[in-house]
Structure 1
């Protein structure tokens, strides 16, 4: 899949933030080059349906503007003695689709790595939570009546075509979905047939209606909720009141003494002093970085050296492999009869004292070959021990 950027979605970023962000909807025709179906295609949705492991609420169905009961397209299956009450029946889902239903795939970034990467482009730029919903709509059908959502949306057409009508945002941001009649809305600000590679941006409270035309349609709605000043300031204050100065447990009941009120005033003044000393650019960078990891648009939770693939590669570790000491803490316990206890990640292991001395003597980042890591041992045993400590995370492979 193409490595798309935020600029691919919005064009000139300065123009986007000055003229459209939080103000009005934006259309970019042919924004994504290459083959947009590689982001999400009909065939990939077929594969996911037939895996039979995706269950509601990841899959929902809407027909004639109303939700379809999950019971009509799920069944109970038994997996190794455990009953799964809502496994999707592919044939039922296909029947509903052929009858005109829109299939909605919620939070696909939980399931599909390429969509998690696509969402991350927006999370990284805006420091906000993102979530990816896909809509599969039959030709000639409209899945939902005109409404607005309590989130910002980036719409990406990946397969087929869909007509979109958008009206300018209505009122202040709130956490509710709003519904409308077309008579209430009047003439749309944008009326366009989206084709693969086209992108729309919809601020909060942008009324919209979408319908597939001559072709069936797959589009992504990447939902994003920016954080308010209130939320950002709360995070800043939380970071400033960490530590012993604010960790006591005062009694603030009816019979509290005057000293408690005096202490409270002192705490407020201390907090105010810390707020006045905040380095605004550095703090905003910290808040941006923390926002990039908000659920569910986070980067993958695992590090490369925590993967099955990495562990499997350690099975083939050879004498020439280069290992490096990580920053994983290694505590030294008691020594007895030539063996020393080491504690790592809650595991206690007893090893020859010579091995303990080598490991504790390695500085973080220091490199050594697997064959010579433990010079008092034969090469084969040195490699075996290197494997074990790499699996614990004390060592990492610099090159294999």
Structure 2
């Protein structure tokens, strides 16, 4: 993985088992139960999301009307029309996905999030776009054609849709089948279209600590020393307090281990999910 990480995309054929992953039967059962609720899911077609009321309904929960629950009839009608169903935060309710994420998190200093994309044949959920995080995609069922645009003029760490990108200007094109895994560094434009039947794939985003995450961890670790300085500098001038705080912060930074700082930042990021 070091050959590819943050450098180039990598396609690994038949690299991971799909047993236990969320499958089409399970998705249909989840729809029938009626407990799936926005924003844990959404519908997309070529980057456009229908109005929430177009695929949800209000349910009576303990005598109170609660909106946003999946309306199976409306959802299936939109799927029949070519929309993609995106399921979010699987780590909160699907144990095999959570277990897979735990294994990856034990190896990589990153925050992970999980999504499943359920796309009818010959349809595209998202327009060409960039993700601000690294991406691991596992094809669970069906087949999906991916187009990658990794020329230097197109790569940018900022995420978002690229509606003006010529879809035929891709530098790489390939089809993923069940068990195939794709790695994409953050910022590489891409688009994926279902082929030869309904496609189901799992996407994991891997977000490394940004500079602000590291700064926040520094200050969290410095908190106890700041409290002590508050007590010992009581009555001192603002200038003297600032000088004492600067010296203490520099000493704190000198003693800090960079690996420990990264570990602390990653732990804080993962706690946001919890």
TM-score, normalising length from structure 2? 0.88
Equivalent-residue separation in structure 1 for 2:248 and 2:121 (angstroms): 63
Q: CA deviation at 1:245?
A: 2.1
Is residue 32 from structure 1 mapped to residue 16 from structure 2 by the alignment?
yes
Change over 3 Å in CA distance of 1:85–1:232 after alignment to 2 = same
Over 6 Å off, 4+ runs: none
Q: Which residue of 2 aligns with 1:43?
A: 25
Three-state SS of the structure 2 residue aligned to 1:39 is coil
Q: Which residue of 2 aligns with 1:264?
A: 242
Is residue 96 from structure 1 mapped to residue 74 from structure 2 by the alignment?
no
Q: Which runs of 5+ in 2 are unaligned?
A: none
Is residue 166 from structure 1 mapped to residue 148 from structure 2 by the alignment?
yes
Greater RCO, CA 8 A, separation 6+: 2
Aligned residues of 1:155 and 1:220 also touching (Cα < 8 A): yes
TM-score, normalising length from structure 1? 0.62
Q: Which residue of 2 aligns with 1:278?
A: 256
Q: Which residue of 1 aligns with 2:7?
A: 23
Q: How do residues 60-71 of structure 1 correspond to structure 2 at under 5 angstroms?
A: 60-71=42-53
Q: Give the greater-gyration-radius structure (CA).
A: 1
Change over 3 Å in CA distance of 1:274–1:167 after alignment to 2 = same
Three-state SS of the structure 1 residue aligned to 2:173 is strand
CA offset digits 1:162-215 (Å, max 9, x no partner)? 0011121745423x4141444387232x31110011111111111101101112
Q: CA deviation at 1:293?
A: 3.5
C-alpha RMSD of the superposition: 2.6
Q: How do residues 47-126 of structure 1 correspond to structure 2 at under 5 angstroms?
A: 47-126=29-108
How many residues were matched structurally?
271
Equivalent-residue separation in structure 2 for 1:102 and 1:187 (angstroms): 22
Aligned residues of 2:155 and 2:189 also touching (Cα < 8 A): no
Q: Which residue of 1 aligns with 2:160?
A: 177
Aligned residues of 1:128 and 1:291 also touching (Cα < 8 A): no
Aligned residues of 2:118 and 2:199 also touching (Cα < 8 A): yes
Equivalent-residue separation in structure 2 for 1:182 and 1:289 (angstroms): 34
Aligned residues of 1:37 and 1:159 also touching (Cα < 8 A): no
